[in-house]
Amino acid sequence: MDIGFWGGLRSDKWGLYGHRRRRHGRRLKRGVLKFALLKLLADVPRHGYDLIRAFREKGWGAGAGSVYPILSALEAAGLIVGRDEGERRTYEISDKGRRLLEEHAKDLGRLFDDDDEDDESDGAADRLREAAGRLMQSIGQLGPSSTPETIGRVCELLNETRRRIYELLAQE
């Protein structure tokens, strides 16, 4: 789903080389941090460290390296207004930011609620990954001693399986 301002909501739980990243608490989906910041600022004006603390309380891993650049971009886009108060910069949501937040409230759903349905999809995704891993292990058993006939039959099985998966996806 494309919700503007740097792209859509997307779950990126996979790291380099396809290894799954381990979650420490809940992790914000990519592209949602800007809306989480807007939501927090809609409640009350805050400074950057206060926002980072609010994310830590939620169990989200957003730190200074991600929060401050997004605050700067939100301010440049006119979605928030920052003002210096002593050594700290305090931010509050602008009318434009409130409108954006209201426009996407339905898309964002339960941003600050528990991720129950995300946990359900994680279970199915875990089963799929485990099955794919077992498949790759069996393919890894093929080697220089495997006959060309065996390798050919395995290729046929894999191609047939891929076709059937695409047929299933087309029926969804």
Q: What is the pLDDT of residues 114-136, one digit of tens each?
A: 444 455 555 777 788 888 888 88
Within a domain: residue 57? yes
pLDDT, mean over the chain:
76
Provide the CATH number for the domain around residue 41: 1.10.10.10
Would you place residue 168 in the very low, low, confident or very high pLDDT band (cuts 50, 70, 90)? Answer: confident
Within a domain: residue 162? yes
Q: Which residue, 92, 113, 134, sits at the end of a domain?
A: 113
Instruction: Please indicate, yes or no, whether residues 37 and 77 belong to a single structural domain of this protein.
Output: yes
How confident is the model at residue 29, as a pLDDT?
A: 54
Q: Please state the domain count of the chain.
A: 2
pLDDT per residue as tens digits for the range 57-78: 776 666 777 788 888 889 998 9
% of the chain surpassing 70 pLDDT:
70
Within a domain: residue 88? yes
Instruction: Please indicate, yes or no, whether residues 102 and 153 belong to a single structural domain of this protein.
Output: no
Sequence-distant (6+) residues with CB within 8 A of 33 are 62, 66, 67, 70
Instruction: Please indicate, yes or no, whether residues 37 and 104 belong to a single structural domain of this protein.
Output: yes
Range of the domain at 166: 143-172
Q: Where does residue 98 fall: left (phi above 0), alpha (psi -120 to 50 degrees), or beta otherwise? A: alpha
Instruction: Please indicate, yes or no, whether residues 166 and 105 belong to a single structural domain of this protein.
Output: no
Alpha helices in 18-147 (DSSP H): 33-43, 48-58, 64-76, 95-103, 105-108, 116-140
Instruction: Please indicate, yes or no, whether residues 82 and 164 belong to a single structural domain of this protein.
Output: no
Within a domain: residue 148? yes
Residue 94 has pLDDT above 80, yes or no: yes
Angle between helices 33-43 and 64-76 (to 10 degrees): 70
In single-letter form, the type of residue at position 154 comes to V
Within a domain: residue 119? no
Within a domain: residue 51? yes
Within a domain: residue 130? no
pLDDT per residue as tens digits for the range 74-92: 999 899 999 988 888 899 9
Within a domain: residue 4? no
Instruction: Please indicate, yes or no, whether residues 37 and 84 belong to a single structural domain of this protein.
Output: yes
Instruction: Please indicate, yes or no, whether residues 109 and 151 belong to a single structural domain of this protein.
Output: no
